[in-house]
Chains A and B, each alone.
Chain A
């Protein structure tokens, strides 16, 4: 689909938030759709097939989790959830159910827009070379260059780095890392993942105590903090 303005479905039972978001998203070049609760959201989703869904988690009757499950049963449309401070378990549950990212109320528009762009961005999945500011990851030749020097990584470390970098700007749960890098081997524990990420940070980051690339997301996992350098050639439609 080659719509000039990607469409975004906003599901929130609070009309003030809904309308404010719709207005600002429209100004940022998106085509917003509004739903007041989960049931309306799913009906609208099935009818309009938006490019992205933003949903509040606490809605009456049909809530955010059901929206996520509904969307997931249809396809891979990115879903961003709106959570509240103090409801961390709810957030993790949403991510485990298939949500792609979250923002915590009260959130800033800038933050939400960054997350939306990260989800809507074409990742160029076929590209073997991932380019970021001061960082180049050649997944084919297995060479990583940071700040002009080569960084020697073990296969596991490179696997983790690639997984995070391909999903730059989006949170990656520890479970997803285990599935992606260890093929879901049951013996791998969260602690093992943390140890490997720690080693990766020490090798890759110019200042491991203040990471520039690999950020921790408490309760959730990790997030690659920098945006890829946009390819001059347009991605495949």
Chain B
């Protein structure tokens, strides 16, 4: 039977009251109309069945007993008394009680079985839905993983296929450079060779590096768009970033005046080394191109609250205000393929990558015009912080 205990109290009280009232009313009506004990027994039986069904087992049992009492008191001789004259009437009473109890019991059991069956069906349906949902989820996760594996595999293959000829190219150019230097210096007896081939090979080297940078940028962008740029954060010294960036752009920087300064109190950066390097290399490349041959560039790193501020400064023509504004605007897309090439395109791609990578670390990138001309690209990235009272700080002090 549905658990009467879970029904709200008010409803239970109402039901019980209604049941008892029905008993009282039918008794009253029966007496008034002079119904005999058989009729009343049947009426009471119906009442017991109805009560068991609607209210519950306990109510049915109680009504059963009450009805037996009413039957005895009002409808069996002698009226108005609780004892019984005739032995047949006694049997009838007892039978009534037994019958109503038994029927109520059977009814209850049937209802219980039906309820359990229904509950089980609901459970099975619930489990089935759950299974469908999990299957769908698993399929989704699998699809995502496969798609990611595909993307990673594709990027890796493209990266390898592009960098292999680039490596061979670089090696051959260096070989040529060496040969030309040897030819120029080697034989003091012969005439000095033309400077022209040396200039050419230097330009070759510079273009090779520019190509390598474009490939790096495009692969970085592809990784970003594929959602594969995950951060593996570790403590990275600013000095390493500057050195590695300078090596990446050695040809370009060879004809620029280049200064680096890491402040003495500058903490290490808590960044992904390859992403952070991409940021600095892109900013450095922009600055180097803006500065032009013979121009000067400064790299500086200093503590800025909980961040490290890295600045790349040049004395070039400066950045158009529209570009600086777009950099601030989160939703701005700086690189639009198809627009005429030129300073805007170069700035666009490198800056877009730098900004995205900075944002991925929770940092920021700004372009600030300098007094006296030129631009400062200022990127703020998280610093490695040693919390006060930490184990590390204590170890540092005892080291």
Interface flag for B310 (CB, 8 Å): no
Q: Which residues of A contact B293 (CB under 8 A)?
A: none
Decide: A106 near B234, CB < 8 A? Known: A199-B396, A209-B266, A216-B240. no
Interface flag for B172 (CB, 8 Å): yes
* Chain A nearest CB, measured from B229 CB (Å): 10
Nearest to A212 among chain B residues (CB) is B239
Interface flag for A76 (CB, 8 Å): no
In Å, the complex CA distance between A214 and B392 comes to 20
In Å, the complex CA distance between A198 and B267 comes to 11
Contact of A209 among B208, B219, B262 (CB under 8 A): B262
Q: Which residues of B contact A20 (CB under 8 A)?
A: 168, 171-172, 175
Binary per-residue interface labels of chain B (119-152) against chain A in the complex, 1 for a CB within 8 Å, 0 otherwise:
0000000000000000000000000000000000
Interface flag for B160 (CB, 8 Å): yes
Q: Which residues of A contact B262 (CB under 8 A)?
A: 209-210
Binary per-residue interface labels of chain B (172-216) against chain A in the complex, 1 for a CB within 8 Å, 0 otherwise:
101100100000000000000000000000000000100010001
Decide: A105 near B163, CB < 8 A? Known: A85-B216, A86-B219. yes
Q: Which residues of B contact A4 (CB under 8 A)?
A: none
Nearest to B265 among chain A residues (CB) is A209
Verify B170–A108 contact, CB threshold 8 A.
Answer: yes
Interface flag for A218 (CB, 8 Å): yes
Within 8 A of A (CB), among B254-285: 260, 262-264, 266, 273-274
Interface of B is mostly: helix
Verify B169–A106 contact, CB threshold 8 A.
Answer: yes
Interface flag for A183 (CB, 8 Å): no
Q: Which residues of B contact A105 (CB under 8 A)?
A: 163-164, 166-167
Verify B392–A191 contact, CB threshold 8 A.
Answer: yes
B interface, size bucket: 35 or more
* Chain A nearest CB, measured from B314 CB (Å): 21
Verify A110–B174 contact, CB threshold 8 A.
Answer: yes
* Chain B nearest CB, measured from A176 CB (Å): 17
A interface, size bucket: 35 or more
* Chain A nearest CB, measured from B236 CB (Å): 5
Interface flag for A142 (CB, 8 Å): no
Q: Which residues of A contact B234 (CB under 8 A)?
A: 218-219
Q: Which residues of B contact A86 (CB under 8 A)?
A: 155, 159, 219, 223, 274
Contact of B160 among A27, A58, A154, A192 (CB under 8 A): A58
Interface centre among A21, A208, A210, A219 (most CB of B within 10 A): A210
Interface flag for B165 (CB, 8 Å): yes
Nearest to A198 among chain B residues (CB) is B396
Within 8 A of B (CB), among A186-237: 191-192, 194-196, 198-199, 207-211, 215-216, 218-219
In Å, the complex CA distance between A58 and B396 comes to 41
Interface flag for B156 (CB, 8 Å): yes
Verify B168–A16 contact, CB threshold 8 A.
Answer: yes
Interface flag for B331 (CB, 8 Å): no
Verify A211–B239 contact, CB threshold 8 A.
Answer: yes
* Chain A nearest CB, measured from B154 CB (Å): 13
Contact of A195 among B236, B239, B396 (CB under 8 A): B396
Interface flag for B295 (CB, 8 Å): no
> Can you spell out 25 A-B residue pairs with CB atoms less than 8 angstroms apart?
A14-B164, A14-B167, A17-B164, A24-B174, A27-B178, A84-B159, A84-B163, A85-B216, A86-B159, A88-B274, A105-B167, A106-B163, A108-B170, A194-B235, A196-B399, A198-B399, A199-B396, A208-B264, A209-B262, A210-B239, A211-B239, A216-B237, A218-B273, A219-B234, A219-B273
Q: A16-B165, A195-B396 are in contact. List 15 more A-B contacts (CB 8 A).
A: A16-B168, A16-B172, A17-B167, A20-B168, A24-B171, A24-B178, A86-B159, A105-B166, A109-B178, A157-B399, A207-B264, A216-B237, A216-B239, A218-B234, A219-B232
The 4 closest A-B CB pairs, nearest first, are A218-B273, A16-B168, A199-B399, A209-B262
